Structure 1
């Protein structure tokens, strides 16, 4: 039997309690109005929608759900608007605060086509993730990224940065991959608290531009990639498609 979201149900398994943290990394440059609007549309119902999907289709009861937003543009031309970072919001109790934050996001800026999506991923990885030692509770540390553009190479920061560029960034793409895989940068100076079992990465990105084809080649473990049309702001992404990606990473 399928529910209103079109996902098939499975009633035969025992229900498992789940603690989940989700970090949205959202490209906020001028073309991204469609996906920003979809995030706004789903904000108020996100907890109830995910709870319904997870119970009916995956036998997961979301006992704790927190969500954080990292909006990004181009640190090399957008100054103080390059990154907009929220706290973790506890859902459903802080749904209105979460909605207020995402409702304040607007698509503007960006300069040249590449954006600072890799820095946004690094910031997400460095989040204060939920922890539990209870073996009966499943944890999920989820990053969901949306962009319709290529990324600046992390090495570009060597040419000069300003006060608005985030501190403690990986030195290059492979340093970022190592941070995700080993919970620390290659030189050990950056460490994160994601759990290798709990971590999940989902990306909505264009095909054929740096670095998303590398990501598709399994550089990041526990990663799902969904291709979107370039430079169209995610207009081809439905809210059902977003919820499907979230539910699959939560499962």
Structure 2
């Protein structure tokens, strides 16, 4: 068998779900730095493991709070292919501004539901796929059954955490899915690691950014999920 015939082709989809409320300011600034070299960091880590990513796509979902201010409470991008569309990622991230959301909790669960329903690569032409969701927040989340939803609240949301859990198990491919959560040690974030498969929770704190070690751990976690 030739090297070409035996080569395993990797496709990796990564959805970054980011809280952009005011207290996330330091993190947002660090995210801008990460975006500038995201593809190179992932590729370098993969090369160190003796692997390559044959297709890397990145999508962003940023969220605040529909119950505080409806406008742009959740903004989602399409998937962008790296490195061909890296400029679109950098442009979008460069425009992010932390603000609002002074009345914790926020709409993180709705953003997570949108991430689960992403248009994932289904493996046509690839032997191995990874569908990774990475959530960054320093706040708790509104329950999905919160009353008094505003007119702009997204349609077809799960009605509660049980339905969101059903989505994770039914709509995500077991061999591909990964969820990494950077969030406080509070409900609902601190229940996912024990209740959902393929999930890790790293504790975060309000007002903190991404130091170099955290950035390295994040990139390594993404590449580990690919390999």
Look up the match of 2:188.
211
User: Using the alignment, how far apart are the partners of 1:247 and 1:75 within structure 2?
Assistant: 33
Segments of 4+ in structure 1 off by > 6 A? none
User: Using the alignment, how far apart are the partners of 1:106 and 1:238 within structure 2?
Assistant: 21
CA-to-aligned-CA distance 1:156-196 (integer Å, 9 cap, x gap): 0xx2222321111111111111100122xxxxxxxxxx322
CA-to-aligned-CA distance 1:168-226 (integer Å, 9 cap, x gap): 1111111111100122xxxxxxxxxx32211110110111x111221132x11111111
User: What pairs with 1:198-237 in structure 2 (closer than 5 Å)?
Assistant: 198-207=176-185, 209-217=186-194, 219-229=195-205, 231-234=206-209
1:15–1:55 CA contact under 8 A, matched in 2: no
The structure with higher relative contact order (CA 8 Å, sep 6+) is: 2
User: Using the alignment, how far apart are the partners of 2:200 and 2:180 within structure 1?
Assistant: 5
Relative to structure 1, is the Cα distance of residues 249 and 35 closer, same or farther in structure 2, using a 3 angstrom cutoff? farther
**2:173 equivalent to 1:195:** yes
1:201–1:249 CA contact under 8 A, matched in 2: no
Q: How high is the TM-score relative to the length of structure 2?
A: 0.91
CA-to-aligned-CA distance 1:69-94 (integer Å, 9 cap, x gap): 00000111121121111111111011
**2:19 equivalent to 1:51:** no
Look up the match of 1:117.
108
User: Using the alignment, how far apart are the partners of 1:69 and 1:164 within structure 2?
Assistant: 20
User: What pairs with 1:155-170 in structure 2 (closer than 5 Å)?
Assistant: 155-156=145-146, 159-170=147-158
2:145–2:159 CA contact under 8 A, matched in 1: yes
Structure 1 unpaired stretches of 5+: 1-13, 184-193
User: Using the alignment, how far apart are the partners of 2:57 and 2:133 within structure 1?
Assistant: 12
User: Using the alignment, how far apart are the partners of 1:44 and 1:93 within structure 2?
Assistant: 13
Structure 2 unpaired stretches of 5+: 1-5
Look up the match of 2:72.
81
1:17–1:60 CA contact under 8 A, matched in 2: no
User: Using the alignment, how far apart are the partners of 1:155 and 1:172 within structure 2?
Assistant: 5
The aligned length equals: 221
User: Using the alignment, how far apart are the partners of 1:163 and 1:34 within structure 2?
Assistant: 31
